[in-house]
Amino acid sequence: MCLSIVSIESVQAQKKKNKKSKAAAAVLATPKDKDAIKAYTAVITKDATTDDGLFKTHHVKKEYFYEIPFKVLNKDMLWVSRVAQIQEGLGGGYMNAGSKTNEQVVHWVRFQDKILLKIRSFSNTAPSTKAIAKSVEVNNFEPTLYAFDIKAFNADSTAVVINVTKFFSEDVPAISGLSSRLRKEYKVKKLDATRSFVNSIKSFPENIEVKQDFTYVASEPPTQSKSESISLQMNQSMILLPEIPMQPRLYDPRVGFFTVSQNDYGSMALKADKKTYIRRWRLVPKDLEAYARGELVEPIKPIVYYLDPGTPENLKAYMKQGIEDWQKPFEAAGFKNAIIAKDAPTPEEDPEFSPEDIRYSVVRYVASTTRNAVGPSVSDPRSGEIIESDIIWYHNHLRSYRNRYLLETGAANPSARTLDTPAEEIGEMMRMVIAHEVGHALGFPHNMAASYAYPVASLRDGAFTQEFGLAASLMDYTRYNYVAQPGDKNVRFIRQMGPYDHYATNWGYRYIAAANTAEEEVPTLNKWILEKANDPKYKFGRQSSTFDPQSQTEGVGDDPIAASTYGLKNLKYVAANLPAWTSDKTNNYDDLEELYGELLGVYSRYVGHVVTNIGGVFEDLKTPEQGGFIYTHLDEKSQKASMQWLQKNIFDTPEWLIDKNILQNIDHAGYFEKVRKLQERHLNSLLSFERIGRLIDAETTDTNYYSALEMLKDLRSGIWSEANRAKNVAIYRRNLQRSYIDRMGYLLKEEAAERRPGSSGFEGAISYDVALSDVRPLVRGELASLRSRLKKARNSGVNTVTQYHYDDAIARIDEFLNTTAGK
């Protein structure tokens, strides 16, 4: 009996033990346990397709895994998000296959049983040996882009495995192709997971390329509205940055370069030291001794551009020429064959070639009606080293160049007087546009002072233009020679490389072997600038200097009045012949309408160049050792001459534009409005707070100045000249005069736009208290004087329409003066 009792108790105890074991097993079998670190072979099974490279990537059934070696954890990697394929109309014309949507530096970090993808910033730095480095670290905490659970370790525990399927299948804003603006515009609701998936993941020795196919649910997609969908393919490139960054080169504003900047908190200057480096490719001579002897030497790694496989055959040669035109400037820096153009390999030659692959720089040819070309690049923010660039050429861009060629050179250039421009000339235009965009991709911004380097008269000289081109740099916006006149011989009409391009390439790219730091290079770099400092051919002018007459977009020559006078003379000839060159040939009016519209734009640019003279301030970037002033006002005589030119060529009605043979064949009405809009644009530009502020400011420093009062009097006198001569006012002038009163009223009521430091185009905006300045007293005084004159003029025998016009003008002035009294 005792034995039986013991036996029963033993069985019961065993049952309890089994229950506990089952309970424990149940706990271990919860979903959390499923995410626990497992054996490598349980995660990367025999069904895996593996690609070896920077990381091993594995495709197991419907899931993707990264096998990250511990040795690359915490290493800096550049992550670039690009559009690989795009739905028609998405982004409004400037978004296309090849468009970059984001660029960031990341690194992979282990934290406990997770791998974190962190975004790195180099805006604030300090040497790791200094105590302040710790403060920089804790005050610049790195955002975590994504957190991955560790799934396994490899066999020898030298790498960690994570599942990246969810990351690349989700709508992660930092790597998305849709900005918040586009999401709002198209009313995007969500990413549709059932129609979104990872297309491919490929690993290479230094980079990984991922393609994602995404479809979003959107109430108002750009096309195919009934689908309520937006689809695009994204390419994510991640490339390992150099362990040791390229030695940077310190930026000097006297030579134009795109830049990257850092705040160095290790400085002893009692503040963070802002260091700005130029953006450039890493070019190192293969043979340093030969290079030191002055011989041309090939770089260890040349810059290579591939042509998009979709490039039309008839354009490839011109594209290659445009790319390799930069070989000559690189020779000035001591390199030969520094930049090379190649056809993209065929699928048979390289089945893995992709234009989105960050290893390749490509000239992308985009089937789009957009008329433009751009030359962006991606760079290492630690040093400014350019890693890769994709130049974008939009298919319809040559149409713009054909039109501008006809309009700007047709008077002096018989071969431009046609819609069928000779193929070689079209090719030359494309070649120079590609070369210009390559210049951007090499680090060069626009140099708008380059056109001002040449006297206007030299642009009518065949020998001069054939040797030196139209401007000192291809990076200016001097596209065509609109100064040359009929009868000028052997003149070049299309832009080309200039001496500044060779100079700037040498300054930015010459290898300075003796310098071991960026700071050690500065004396040599400064010496090169000083050697050329007094020669206008080597001057750099910022595009954003909207106040500087010598740094103007689309300008030609060193005298805006002379250049625009020649340009208008040519444009009048073209306008008179436009129907003969277009509609008479095609038997329709489409091209006539298009070209007339663009002719108005060309005319407006010529006028705008002279407007800049009023209140113009020259910007000559220099250091104290060079002496003189950086900023000087244009002299009074030149400004008064500019005002006289404007009265004659824009504010006096441009009758030559009002051609019935054109207007009555392209539109049923609106002729007077076309002219008013043109005149109003330049009137408003003259009567801007910024310009009047500069004129007032000149009184504080100059003796030979054109005062704000003189400018306003001269402008009023010219625009209202009929009131001084008892003359009837025609419809175009009535429109202009009403625009004048409205703009003066604006100056009485409104405030100047706030200056936004660092915003392009706002360098010309000065910040001052308008209400306490001379602006409103001057404007109020001018309106009062005008009102007095109009009261007399309305009774001087003018016709009824003019009387009504003067009555209305007086009423408008009274309204402004009464409502702004005391302001």
User: Which residues, in sequence order, are CB contacts of 57 under 8 Å at separation 6+?
Assistant: 50, 51, 64, 65, 66, 67, 201, 202, 203, 208
In terms of Cβ atoms closer than 10 Å to its own Cβ (0-12, 13-18, 19+), residue 222 is middle
Q: How confident is the model at residue 12 (pLDDT cuts 50, 70, 90)?
A: low
Mean pLDDT throughout 383-394? 92
**1, pLDDT greater than 50:** no
Within 8 A by CB and 6+ apart from 268, the residues are none
Mapped onto helix, strand or coil, the DSSP state of residue 49 is: strand
pLDDT tens digits along 702-732 = 888 999 999 999 999 999 999 989 899 999 9
pTM over 0.85: yes
pLDDT at 270 over 80: no
Split at pLDDT 50, 70, 90, the class of 25 is very low
Is pLDDT above 50 for 361? yes
Token readout for 450 is: 């380059």
CA gap 470, 476 in Å, rounded: 10
CA gap 599, 568 in Å, rounded: 11
- The identity of residue 597, as a single letter, is G
What phi and psi, each to the nearest 5 degrees, are found at residue 200? Answer: -165, 155
How many C-beta atoms lie closer than 10 Å to residue 519's C-beta?
A: 10
Indicate the range of 196-205, 585-594, 638-647, 662-671 predicted with least confidence: 662-671
Sign of CA dihedral 389, 395, 401, 407: negative
Distance CA 216, CA 99 (A): 19
pLDDT tens-digit readout, 790-810: 999 999 999 999 999 999 999
Is the separation of the CB atoms in 611 and 682 below 8 Å? yes
CA-to-CA dists, residue 648 to 349, 637, 642, 664, angstroms: 64, 17, 10, 26
Helix intervals (H) in 553-630 = 560-581, 583-586, 590-611
On whether the CB atoms of residues 274 and 263 are closer than 8 A, the answer is: yes
Query: Could you tell me what percent of the chain has a pLDDT over 90?
Result: 80
Burial class (CB in 10 A: 0-12, 13-18, 19+), 93: middle
Indicate the helix (H) or strand (E) that contains 197. Answer: strand 197-203
The model's pLDDT over 469-488, given as tens digits with 9 standing for 90+, comes to 999 999 999 999 999 999 99
Looking at residue 18, what is its pLDDT? 53
- Asked if 115 and 160 count as a contact pair (C-beta separation under 8 A), the reply is yes
Closest CA to 744 of 721, 772, 778: 778
pLDDT reading at 758 higher than 60 = no
Nearest Cα neighbor of 321 from 308, 309, 339 is 339
Confidence check: pLDDT of 626 > 80: yes
Cα Rg for the chain, rounded, in angstroms?
A: 34
Residue with structure tokens 């990537």? 57
- Looking at residue 761, its pLDDT comes to 45
C-beta separation of 390 from 103 below 8 A: no
- 609 closest CA partner among 634, 640, 646: 646
> In the numeric block, which tokens belong to residue 416?
């431009």
Reference 76, options 137, 120, 139, 117; nearest CA is 120
pLDDT at residue number 441? 95
Give pLDDT tens digits for 76-124. Answer: 999 999 999 999 889 887 788 888 999 999 999 999 999 999 999 999 8
Question: What is the reported pLDDT for 24?
Answer: 39
The band of 819, judged by pLDDT with boundaries at 50, 70 and 90, is confident
Q: Using CA atoms, how far apart are residues 558 and 543, in angstroms rounded to an integer?
A: 16
| Triad 618, 699, 635: Cα angle to 5° | 40
- Residue type at position 822: G
What secondary structure letter does DSSP report for 560? H
Q: What pLDDT was estimated at residue 10?
A: 52
Give me the sign of the Cα torsion angle 98, 104, 110, 113.
negative
pLDDT of residue 26: 38
Chain Cα centroid distance, residue 392:
12
Query: Which amino acid type is present at position 439?
Result: G
Least confident of 23-32, 83-92, 382-391: 23-32
At 755, is the pLDDT very low, low, confident or very high (cuts 50, 70, 90)? Answer: low
Residues 118, 107 contacting (CB under 8 angstroms)? yes
Residues 6 or more apart in contact with residue 407 via CB below 8 angstroms: 571, 574, 595, 598, 599, 602
Tokens of 768: 């001052």
Q: 452 near 557, Cβ under 8 Å?
A: yes
Q: What is the pLDDT of residue 669?
A: 83
Instruction: Tell me which of 283 and 399 has the higher pLDDT.
Output: 283
Q: Does residue 302 surpass a pLDDT of 70?
A: yes
Token look-up 């970037």 returns: 621
Q: Which residue has the tokens 């210049």?
A: 439
Residues 516, 23: Cα–Cα separation, whole Å: 68
**757 — pLDDT class (breaks 50, 70, 90):** low
Tell me if residue 335 falls in helix, strand or coil: strand
User: Model confidence at 778, in pLDDT bands (50, 70, 90)?
Assistant: very high
Length in residues, the chain: 823
**SS3 label, residue 357:** coil
Instruction: Give residue 164's pLDDT.
Output: 97
Q: What is the arithmetic mean of pLDDT over 219-247?
A: 94
User: Is there a contact between 305 and 340 (Cβ–Cβ < 8 Å)?
Assistant: yes
Q: Which residue has the tokens 């005319």?
A: 603
> By C-alpha distance, which of 103, 89, 84, 82 is closest to 182?
89
Whether pLDDT at 822 is above 70: no
Section 295-318 average pLDDT? 95
Give the residue-averaged pLDDT of 649-673. 91
> Long-range contacts for 526-534 (Cβ within 8 Å, ≥24 apart)?
526/252, 526/623, 529/252, 529/254, 529/255, 530/625, 530/626, 532/503, 533/254, 533/622, 533/626
The pLDDT-based confidence of 763 (bands split at 50, 70, 90) is low
Give the DSSP letter of residue 230. Answer: E
Calpha distance 92→422 (Å, rounded): 32
Residue 156 burial (C-beta neighbours within 10 Å; 0-12, 13-18, 19+): exposed
Q: Residue 320's closest CA among 347, 343, 297, 341? A: 341
